[in-house]
Amino acid sequence: MALSIGVVAQQYDLSIPTLRYYEEQGLLPFIKRSPAGRREFRQADLDCLCDIECLKKKGMQLKDIKQYIDWRTAGDETLDQRLALIQQRRQMLANEI
């Protein structure tokens, strides 16, 4: 089942322009379009959006989130790189505390 951008924005408490920006920046690389050109968010897109929002709430910059998403898209062979990025952010947060 596909969800519209308005429904996703409401469910995730984000603005529609924010979702469009994420897509433009390559953070949501696989959003399909309806024949009318409307974005159709599928479960994989929502899972990706959950990752984005989680990393953003931890203070990760969008460029680093983009790298994480690129690695996530590449598959399991990038698990070590993703883990290292998350551990690096965890250490930065610990140092801030």
Q: Domain with 38 in it: what CATH number?
A: 1.10.1660.10
Nearest-CA neighbor of 52 among 34, 73, 81?
A: 73
Please choose, from the candidates 85, 1, 15, the residue with its C-alpha nearest in 3D space to the C-alpha of residue 46.
Answer: 1
pLDDT digits (tens, 9 = 90+) for 18-35: 999 999 999 998 999 999
What is the total count of domains within the chain?
1
**Whole-angstrom distance, CA of residue 35 vs CA of residue 3:** 14
As beta bridge partners, residue 41 has: 3
pLDDT, residue 29, reads: 86
Give me the pLDDT at residue 93, please. 84
Domain of 65, in residue numbers: 5-96
State the pTM of this model: 0.82
Task: Give the pLDDT score at 84.
Answer: 92
User: What's the rounded mean pLDDT across residues 13-21?
Assistant: 96
